[in-house]
Amino acid sequence: MAQALVTGATSGIGRAIATALQAAGYDVFAVGRNQLALDELSRDFNIHGIKVDLADRTATAAALAGLEPDVLVNNAGLMPPLVPFCDTDPDDIDRAVAVNLTSVLAVTRLIAPGMRARRGGHIFFTGSTAGHAPFPNLAVYCATKAAVGAFGQALRLEMAAYGVRVTEIVAGRVETGLYKNLMTPEAREAMYAGNSAVQPEDVAAMVTAVLALPASVDVSRFDILPTHQATTTGARTTDK
């Protein structure tokens, strides 16, 4: 049975991808910090839970030792407080870079050599439109996602000769808990009102569709946006 490893799998996009891959026949390993959510995935979906803080490189290496996934989904990430960069707490900067970028590089470094040696596999990175267009009060988040996008595209060129595919998921407004602690419930409700957001299950469906393509086809990047989010900058279409 093909094996898949999904980070940030206890909620939102990661959870949707993990359960979709399990339904597609993969033996799924889900990485997260929420033990209750990992237990639920194990109980309800027969998914193996791995509790670890990806910002801890030593603990991550120990937790993933021996795994040889055919699919790696680097999804773990966080949103730092929505404030101007000059007002950002340095600790928030360090944490965002550690989780959104450094841990992605570290996990990929642990898994990618095995894929190269086996001459096959697929690596996904959950990026963001924020990595391809500027947003105020999101400078650090934009920087980490831009770096992930550039890394993914460079890695694709390095791994192509070994039959390893690499895909960046460029998500627009997705209804997840990413802003849960950063915005009021009213603000979040307004942001997602009128079915104006992509659902995590939509992203998961795209991932499984990409995986189902022939091995000769590599989708280097796919943008998935709400219908009315016409551009990566978030502009809406004009009502006619």
pLDDT in tens, 29-59: 999 999 999 999 999 999 999 999 999 999 9
Q: What is the pLDDT of residue 229?
A: 61
Q: What is the pLDDT of residue 50?
A: 98
Please report, as a single letter, which amino acid is at residue 146.
A
Is 233 among the domain residues? no
Q: Rounded to 5, what percent of the chain is helix, strand, coil?
A: 45, 15, 35
Q: What is the pLDDT of residue 21?
A: 98
Give pLDDT tens digits for 1-27. 999 999 999 999 999 999 999 999 999
Strand partners, 30: 6, 49
Q: Is residue 38 within 8 Å of 32, Cβ to Cβ?
A: yes
Q: What is the pLDDT of residue 228?
A: 72
179, pLDDT greater than 70 = no
234, pLDDT greater than 50 = no
Is 198 among the domain residues? yes
Number of domain units in the chain: 1
Strands of 121-126's sheet, edge to edge? 48-51, 27-32, 3-6, 71-74, 121-126, 164-171, 221-224
Segment 163-185 shows an average pLDDT of 75
Give pLDDT tens digits for 196-209. 689 999 999 999 99
pLDDT band at 230 (very low <50, low <70, confident <90, very high): low
Q: What is the pLDDT of residue 236?
A: 45
Strand partners, 32: 51
Give pLDDT tens digits for 62-96. 999 999 999 999 999 999 999 999 999 999 999 99
Domain residues for 185? 3-224
223, pLDDT greater than 80 = yes
Q: How far apart are CA 133 and CA 233, in angstroms?
A: 6
Segment 154-183 shows an average pLDDT of 83
Q: Where are the beta strands (DSSP E) in 71-176?
A: 71-74, 121-126, 164-171
Is 232 among the domain residues? no
- Please, is 170 exposed, middle or buried when counting C-beta atoms within 10 Å of its C-beta (0-12, 13-18, 19+)? buried
Q: Which of 141, 162, 179, 192 is catalytic?
A: 141
Q: Is residue 72 within 8 Å of 3, Cβ to Cβ?
A: no
In the structure encoding, which two tokens stand for residue 138, read together? 């999101």
How many angstroms separate the Cα of 20 from the Cα of each of 9, 12, 27, 32, 172? 11, 12, 11, 17, 20
231, pLDDT greater than 60 = no
Q: What is the pLDDT of residue 134?
A: 85
Is 110 among the domain residues? yes
Is 101 among the domain residues? yes
Main-chain dihedrals φ then ψ at residue 238, nearest 5 degrees: -85, 130
Is 240 among the domain residues? no
CATH assignment at residue 146:
3.40.50.720
Is 234 among the domain residues? no
> Is 141 an active-site residue?
yes
In the structure encoding, which two tokens stand for residue 15, read together? 């959870």
Q: What is the pLDDT of residue 175?
A: 72
User: Helix (H, G, I), strand (E, B), or coil: what is residue 90?
Assistant: helix
Q: Is residue 148 within 8 Å of 156, Cβ to Cβ?
A: no
Is 7 among the domain residues? yes
Strand partners, 198: 174
Give pLDDT tens digits for 112-150. 999 999 999 999 999 999 999 989 999 999 999 999 999
